[in-house]
Structure 1
């Protein structure tokens, strides 16, 4: 106010030069107390205090990690007892992190201090190699990609792999920020500090490139910290982040061997027969095969997923497995993952799902289904889907018997175009192979002749006739092959069993393919032939759609390194006669 207004103001007047301060304004309770209202003739002076740097804050209001000082906010909890006990247990743990090991925390101590997460971690077969890949990629100075995304089907152990990473980083004495999408919290772990905060806390720590930032099932912010995001392939979570100095890889589903070992270690109260049946249906999704094996309202989710399937839905789902609303399709379709953790394509969750989906599509519109199988040649998701549906067609046709045209395949020492190759790298989602490719002098065993199959060559064409199988057997164990009758059509429950898709005893093997090449691993064939008693003249039929039948050629066998062999090293594999076999795309 100027001098002319001063006397008036001192006498209780007001100035019209300024906006009037209303006594009804709500004032900060921290400054004025609860429900404070200024009285008439009272003057209140508001002072903006200078902002203290983190280093100038009192020690009880800051965290110090190395040279970084960060304030303790209202959302920060320092040294929560349960979290401290968890981190100390990790620091003290000496479990060898190798396949089938079990990390077990002390009684009353839980992962992240949360009892719902349990206190035990099963080490999957892929975890050690996947961790080596993580270290290699986030420390690769040539590519400058300190960020990594690990994708995979829901329910296969990505969250628990994040806990394994925490364990290994604890042993290494690293600074780690772990963020949980489920808990909506961040956790800070160092050799001296344990803290819990909101999803906005610990930013100064994350700005340090030496920090490790492990993120589970939530879209991460971009920080210089070495970041590993673990998530199901929901595009809204990972896609944008994957563009920021980032690489990606995939975690495989579980093998039956892993499932059974984990059941023994953690879920021993669940009968093995129940687990086996869940695996037969769900495939390698541990959430439903182990954790929810006996929870009815979880088990019905698979049938509910199949109930909504039609061909248009399935075609759309195959091209959009990373869609945010693709939860249903990811129950039916699994990513197929190589030993280098790349995603090649997808497979049906199990033979059970494959056949159930095929049957549903056939019953809904068999003409549309068979036309799709016939017309969907080429590359990409549709070609992959075509192959799976054709296999479903074959498994519905062959057990009923019939006569099929065949061609003997002869090894003419033809050159192979390696650039036009359909060989996939060895997979994680199957049983491990024995790498023994040495010479083997298998003893031939006299076998009963099978009268269910007749091969006839009339000079003009060669056909094979099958009697209707008395029983189609979907088997989980090799001893079921030995016990089965010669007239049974044997189909493995596991997606990639020993290089064959079906068997008719004593000496007939089937491999179904819609591709123009399909080399088989000799070790798998060797093992199957041993189970069959090493028949004197085994036959391998490559079962093909009509458009592949005429041009399909002799297939070389692969060694344990997936290299083609000029001559198989196993005696029983050398005895195999190869045939191409045509199954027409016709309705019943």
Structure 2
């Protein structure tokens, strides 16, 4: 009890800090002198100084006319640091430092805007999302921001089925059964924060529920008038590496093994950008070994049918291998497999067990529509990496001519940070949340950027391109940029020029000249999907042999082989068995719907040529 009281008393003494980048000039910080100090290469905002998602500074809740340099907030919104020896909620497991994600600030601003009378969240909201992404930590940051913005409010924090903390404006804290706080919860001037518990009673206090996507927890609440549901985004690669740098770098476990950035990359490859799996559980042997068991237990059809009906799968894959990826307004989600490695293995396990082609199933069945993007992205990466001749359309200007582009075969280099990007390789981030692009490669002095999509509306974040310009080690060797939107045949001929957006998904008002000079193209990957507006043509899409890069030696960074763990070796043995079994399966070909009457000899001829619209398979 004493510890949580100390936390509440000292919360107003917490300070927000930002690491100063090596490429940043100190003159850029001059405007901050009245609101910050500089210590040990960090900018420390003064006590009571906060920032919004645009970097505008607030002094004890009042807006100033000073804005943080954008470079400071590129990756995250600062680190909230309590005084030494003070822990969030008085619990050492929560620590005394909290990374403020940019989406925390955006969600707080969204709630503040929509909580007004007759607003969509006038009574409250549920914040949900993929398990393990830190919804509780968002709640802890809310305690800080509510205390500064609503200093007279009382906050009730429910942490189990019945028990709550009541945080009072006079620094006092009470810990009691929720029923004893009814008077507080009956006031619209107060706040009720519910952490990982069901919300079943409609209080007058403003309600914010933080929960995993278990429908039974919020099913009743989302039907109340003025109660909204928002989704918290997955972590971006930069956020994961920033948190590792600030809190996990040089950390060792009880065996003396160091938590290196190299290991972060391996865990990202395995789990995707989930801090619980990649950072918090980095040395939990039982947790990490459970990965292959999860893969083995997945029933692809049951899993996806479950997603379609209830919001998340109900089997053991839940929140570990399938993630919810929200739109920029946090209002709706699409479903994604955790990482390319997970996707490949799930497909392999499914096909060897059922002797069915998973790609055909996903591309044709309405129930599997949320995974089509994943499947197409996986196929597109492999096709681009293998090289060949591709049809392309320039999107700039009025030129709609279709030309051919020859792309050379390249080995894949998986990277965690841009410092690991390599020339003469097909560079692919381990995290699917890498901003703006899916991959890139250097062709002489031209950097080819690839963004893979099955939608005709796929704008690009300016931030990701700026990061590439600023952090790519061999940027000086690049004279020109080409941006290829890699699309299926059915939208290739109609795909339009795309806009550049801010992190808030607003159209960019100012675009750097080098970005404005990027030439945009549509690049076709033919999967046998009919384009009725196009000329009839025969095409064969060969069923993808999902050979894992680590098993075949193709499409992987050679250096990565030197750092494989024992579990990776065991995984490879399993994968090799899967692959060898799949090679004995009958290859399945998909014929363009408009060309089903193509002669068998023509089909066989095309298959022998291993040519799908000029793409090498």
TM-score, structure 2 normalization? 0.64
Q: Does residue 394 of the first structure (1) align with residue 380 of the second (2)? A: yes
Deviations 1:495-527 (A, max 9, x none): 254543233431444332223444545775677
How far does residue 557 in structure 1 lie from its aligned partner after superposition? Answer: 4.0
How far does residue 194 in structure 1 lie from its aligned partner after superposition? Answer: 2.3
- Consecutive unaligned residues in structure 1, runs of 5 or more: 1-79, 416-456
Deviations 1:444-485 (A, max 9, x none): xxxxxxxxxxxxx9xxx965555543x22112232333x33x
Which residue of structure 1 lines up, in the alignment, with residue 81 of structure 2?
103
Which residue of structure 1 lines up, in the alignment, with residue 431 of structure 2?
494
Q: Residues 510 and 205 of structure 1: is their aligned pair in 2 closer, same or farther, counting only changes over 3 Å?
A: closer
Q: Does residue 212 of the first structure (1) align with residue 154 of the second (2)? A: no
Higher-Rg structure is 1
Deviations 1:272-310 (A, max 9, x none): 332333233323211122211121212234433332334
Q: Residues 142 and 477 of structure 1: is their aligned pair in 2 closer, same or farther, counting only changes over 3 Å?
A: closer
Distance 1:514 1:388 in 2: 10
Residue aligned with 2:5, SS: helix
Q: Does residue 248 of the first structure (1) align with residue 229 of the second (2)? A: yes
Aligned 1:311-390 pairs, distance under 5 A: 311-320=300-309, 322-323=311-312, 325=314, 328-361=317-350, 363-364=352-353, 367-376=356-365, 382-390=368-376
Return structure 1 stretches of 4+ with deviation > 6 angstroms. 563-569
Whether contact under 8 Å (2:127, 2:209) holds in the other structure is: yes
Which residue, 528, 536, 543 being the options, matches 2:486? 543
Whether contact under 8 Å (2:298, 2:346) holds in the other structure is: yes
Q: Residues 148 and 391 of structure 1: is their aligned pair in 2 closer, same or farther, counting only changes over 3 Å?
A: same
Whether contact under 8 Å (2:158, 2:195) holds in the other structure is: yes
Which residue of structure 1 lines up, in the alignment, with residue 207 of structure 2?
227
Which residue of structure 2 lines up, in the alignment, with residue 237 of structure 1?
217
Residue aligned with 1:195, SS: strand
Which residue of structure 2 lines up, in the alignment, with residue 23 of structure 1?
none
How far does residue 150 in structure 1 lie from its aligned partner after superposition? Answer: 0.9
Distance 2:305 2:96 in 1: 40
Which residue, 290, 294, 305 being the options, matches 2:279? 290
Which residue of structure 2 lines up, in the alignment, with residue 152 of structure 1?
129
How far does residue 226 in structure 1 lie from its aligned partner after superposition? Answer: 1.2
Residue aligned with 2:238, SS: helix
Aligned 1:19-418 pairs, distance under 5 A: 80-93=1-14, 94=47, 96-98=49-51, 99-107=77-85, 109-141=86-118, 145-171=122-148, 172-181=151-160, 184-192=162-170, 193-220=172-199, 221-245=201-225, 246-268=227-249, 269=251, 270-320=259-309, 322-323=311-312, 325=314, 328-361=317-350, 363-364=352-353, 367-376=356-365, 382-401=368-387, 403-409=388-394, 411=396, 413=398
Whether contact under 8 Å (2:153, 2:169) holds in the other structure is: yes
Distance 2:241 2:431 in 1: 14
How far does residue 547 in structure 1 lie from its aligned partner after superposition? Answer: 3.5
How far does residue 232 in structure 1 lie from its aligned partner after superposition? Answer: 1.0
Which residue of structure 2 lines up, in the alignment, with residue 433 of structure 1?
none
Mean alpha-carbon deviation: is it higher for 202-211 or for 223-232?
Answer: 202-211
Which residue of structure 1 lines up, in the alignment, with residue 20 of structure 2?
none
Q: Residues 267 and 140 of structure 1: is their aligned pair in 2 closer, same or farther, counting only changes over 3 Å?
A: farther
Deviations 1:190-233 (A, max 9, x none): 13442211243322322222221111011123211111111111
Whether contact under 8 Å (1:211, 1:225) holds in the other structure is: yes
Distance 1:527 1:92 in 2: 33
Distance 1:562 1:179 in 2: 34
Q: Residues 97 and 124 of structure 1: is their aligned pair in 2 closer, same or farther, counting only changes over 3 Å?
A: farther
Whether contact under 8 Å (1:185, 1:197) holds in the other structure is: yes
Distance 1:170 1:408 in 2: 54
RMSD of aligned Cα (Å) = 3.7
Which residue, 497, 500, 506 being the options, matches 1:555? 497
Distance 2:348 2:141 in 1: 41
Whether contact under 8 Å (1:499, 1:511) holds in the other structure is: yes
Which residue, 542, 564, 572 being the options, matches 1:586? 542
How far does residue 413 in structure 1 lie from its aligned partner after superposition? Answer: 4.3
Residue aligned with 2:323, SS: strand
Distance 2:169 2:518 in 1: 62
How far does residue 89 in structure 1 lie from its aligned partner after superposition? Answer: 2.2
Q: Residues 156 and 126 of structure 1: is their aligned pair in 2 closer, same or farther, counting only changes over 3 Å?
A: same
How far does residue 326 in structure 1 lie from its aligned partner after superposition? Answer: 5.7
Q: Residues 339 and 140 of structure 1: is their aligned pair in 2 closer, same or farther, counting only changes over 3 Å?
A: farther
How far does residue 240 in structure 1 lie from its aligned partner after superposition? Answer: 0.9
How far does residue 554 in structure 1 lie from its aligned partner after superposition? Answer: 4.4
Distance 1:143 1:512 in 2: 34
Q: Residues 412 and 501 of structure 1: is their aligned pair in 2 closer, same or farther, counting only changes over 3 Å?
A: same
Which residue of structure 2 lines up, in the alignment, with residue 511 of structure 1?
451
TM-score, structure 1 normalization? 0.67
Q: Residues 301 and 199 of structure 1: is their aligned pair in 2 closer, same or farther, counting only changes over 3 Å?
A: farther
User: What is the count of residue pairs matched by the alignment?
Assistant: 454
Residue aligned with 2:451, SS: strand
Q: Residues 196 and 357 of structure 1: is their aligned pair in 2 closer, same or farther, counting only changes over 3 Å?
A: same
- Consecutive unaligned residues in structure 2, runs of 5 or more: 15-46, 52-76, 252-258, 528-540, 546-617
Distance 2:93 2:427 in 1: 42
